[in-house]
Amino acid sequence: MDPTTDFEIRKAELADLPAIISLFAADEVGGHGDTTEPEAFADYLAAFARIEASPLQMLYVARLGEEVVGTFQTALLTSLPGRGQPRLVIEAVQTREDMRGRGIGACMMRHAIERAREEGAGKVQLSSNATRTAAHRFYARLGFVRSHFGFHMRLK
């Protein structure tokens, strides 16, 4: 397959959900406990419905031919600092391991950046697991700059 002719990015559909789940379940670094076990599907289905219901969130898939080979999510966030100018947050970026290095991730990021411009965002931001050094180099090549420390707290 030639990514320049067969590649597309589009809004995720319910039929894409099993492939998206598989991308996350295959990620050994993320540590999110994702799984393709059938009993977990209801949790993913509920999350998909929440994303779909939000006018400020969008879940995307990257497809090469008929296969889902990547995914990412965006959320438009407005806060008072910066005089209320919105920013687009990119989350849950995954490219299928055997498809990395083919420009799919760069196309997904360009798509997200264009969406940010369309929404009038003043900034695009994302976070990345501290151990993903190859991903950090990838984001830097695209023009992202490290600027903050991230913190999180697990509640469950």
Cα torsion angle, 153, 30, 15, 60, sign: positive
Q: pTM for the full model?
A: 0.91
Instruction: State mean pLDDT over 53-75.
Output: 96
Q: Which domains does the chain have, with CATH numbers?
A: 3-141 (3.40.630.30)
What's the pLDDT at 1? 46
Q: Which two tokens stand for residue 90?
A: 């990119």
What is the C-alpha separation between 40 and 32, in angstroms, rounded?
13
Identify the bridge partners of residue 8 per DSSP, sorted by sequence position: 63
Instruction: State mean pLDDT over 39-55.
Output: 97
Instruction: State mean pLDDT over 55-83.
Output: 95
What's the pLDDT at 31? 63
Per the CB < 8 A criterion, the answer to whether 95 and 70 are in contact is: yes
What is the C-alpha separation between 104 and 64, in angstroms, rounded?
9
What is the C-alpha separation between 111 and 103, in angstroms, rounded?
12
What is the C-alpha separation between 138 and 101, in angstroms, rounded?
10
Instruction: State mean pLDDT over 18-29.
Output: 92
What's the pLDDT at 32? 76
The amino acid occupying position 155 is L
Band of pLDDT at residue 39, cut at 50, 70 and 90: very high
What's the pLDDT at 28? 79
Instruction: State mean pLDDT over 96-124.
Output: 94
